[in-house]
Structure 1
């Protein structure tokens, strides 16, 4: 699906049906016919269009001398809902800048693109292609910080629940958060490489304002990276702590059960002795069964007191 936007007087963009110079084309899962139309009317290389549709494509920057076109693939976070937990993953966002227009390509509808389409970024002007491309990258970098704050809030809630009771649902929640942080850290690392390549040598002949904007994106990316690393460290320490708590609880339960098993074994031993067909003390008396129970209780009490002193239970 192709959606075309052009600059609107007063700020923002408005939708149009014509591909002309200075427009922004938002492309979602295009078919072969739409790709052919893009190639014919914008001059975008076919490889660039296909790279943007590959869900496994890593973040990178590429420049095509023949068509004077640039490709920026930048990993962006998106929510991921599962049966066990709510987490996040990252998908590639392809931004293609040609001599005629700017193109964004992705395989699914992204709310961030709607943010630009609705004019919520008044300074967004697709006629200034590279500045617009950097605005996309900036908002993606900021979205990492937003999602990381949500992740931290979810982590605190799960930790509070785990302090009251250890349940599998909370542990699955921690696992989902940790998986999200791994995705974030890997993507932020590759995004940083893309930003460094864009600024190194100024291959795109960016002006001073665009270079400053690129520095701002790099700063946001670095903040998100540090925040993700801190959150991941806290998650690891939390998981290790609760793993130790679970092991300690299990050891306590096993110690308790073992101690009581030993104590309950005493009456069985005493009754077994008096059940033998041999001469034993008090076996011939009328109160032998009471004496047997008394011996069992005394020995069990002695063992119980000894276990209690050694804090076995």
Structure 2
């Protein structure tokens, strides 16, 4: 999918096509075809490798600089549903005339920039728009981390009452999401630090024109990313300890069940031993007694009761 927009001076977005492409436009590419990549590369004179960099879902955040373009590859958060979270690479390419975004999927970070919010950004202010996208990504990391925190509390409450496998699997899914977020936020932090150093690079001034308010926005992005980094580390430790705690509880419950079954086995084995003793094909007590069976049963149950009391006293039940 390929969409082209350009902000008008009055605020609204104007939708363009490849034939009506103008300077200052924003080209948004989602899961592109080879033809779309080739056309955009020819029209914007951007290195095709820049456009393809975000199509590898394992690509780490980094920046690349060419003579006429700067590519910032960042990882953005994605909510998959059913307690599943992930991070996807998003390439933001800034040239003298255009800003291009490339991603494998449509993400809320990009969809936030639409006709409804068009007065909050300008596509022709490319550097500021770049920082706004990075800021939006950081805010979504924070939003999803708060969701994970609430979900983990919900799972903890349910596990306190009933330890179901489904709840433990949900906990595992959240841990996977935090692992992806942790890797993405760390690599994004390295990119932001590099952008902070690049802002004073005079060779990139024609491409990344940073004004004072833009620099303030970049600093806000760095602060938000650091906060997300601290939160993901804290929540990762909490979930890890939560999983260890419930693992210990499950193991302890299993030991209690095994101890109970062992005690019951001992108690049930006593009548079997007694009846086997009196069932031998040799002269035994009470063999000629009319109430012999009753006596044997009383002996067996008496020994079983005494054994049960001893086991209960030793906390086997």
Question: Would you call these one fold, judging by a TM-score over 0.5?
Answer: yes
SS in 2 for 1:116: coil
SS in 1 for 2:119: coil
Residue 155 (str. 1) matches residue 157 (str. 2): no
Matching of residue 240 in structure 1 with residue 244 in structure 2: yes
SS of aligned partner of 1:150: helix
State how 1:1-313 maps to structure 2 within 5 Å: 1-17=1-17, 18-65=20-67, 68-81=68-81, 85-120=82-117, 122-202=119-199, 203=201, 204-205=204-205, 206-313=210-317
Contact 1:93 1:105 in 2 (8 A): yes
Paired residues in the alignment total 308
Give ranges in structure 2 of 5+ residues lacking alignment: none
Aligned-pair CA distance for 1:121: 5.2
Shift of 1:262: 0.3
> Could you give the per-residue CA deviations for residues 236-275 of structure 1, whole angstroms, max 9, x where no partner exists?
1111111111111111111111101101111111111111
Q: Is the 8 A contact 1:185 1:225 kept in 2?
A: yes
Report the Cα distance in structure 2 between the residues aligned to 1:129 and 1:201, rounded to whole angstroms. Answer: 15
Distance 1:11 1:146 in 2: 28
Q: Deviations over 1:82-139 (max 9, x none)?
A: xxx4311110010000111100011222233222122425231111111101100100
Contact 1:12–1:125 (CA under 8 A) maintained in structure 2: no
- CA deviation after TM superposition for structure 1 residue 159, in Å: 1.0
Q: 1:59 to 1:169 in 2, by over 3 A?
A: same
8 Å CA contact retained: 1:14, 1:117: no
Deviation of residue 153 (structure 1)? 1.2
Q: Distance in 1 between matches of 2:191 and 2:118?
A: 24
CA drift of 1:201 comes to 4.7
User: Is the contact made by 1:39 and 1:46 (CA closer than 8 Å) also made in structure 2?
Assistant: yes
> Residues 169-201 of structure 1: CA distance to partner in whole angstroms, max 9, x if unpaired?
101100110000000000000000100111125
Q: Which runs of 5+ in 1 are unaligned?
A: none
Provide the C-alpha distance between the structure 2 equivalents of 1:98 and 1:164, rounded to a whole number of angstroms. 57
* Aligned counterparts of 1:173 and 1:43: Cα–Cα separation in 2: 46
In 1, distance between residues paired with 2:260 and 2:139? 53
SS at match of 1:90: strand
Distance 2:2 2:289 in 1: 102
Q: Cα offset for 1:286?
A: 1.7
By how many angstroms is 1:51 displaced? 1.0
Using the alignment, how far apart are the partners of 1:115 and 1:251 within structure 2?
52
State the SS of the aligned residue for 1:117: coil
Give the Å deviation of 1:152: 1.1
**Which runs of 4 or more aligned residues in structure 1 lie more than 6 Å from their structure 2 counterparts after TM superposition?**
none
* TM-superposed deviation, 1:12: 4.6
**8 Å Cα contact 2:7-2:118 kept in structure 1:** no
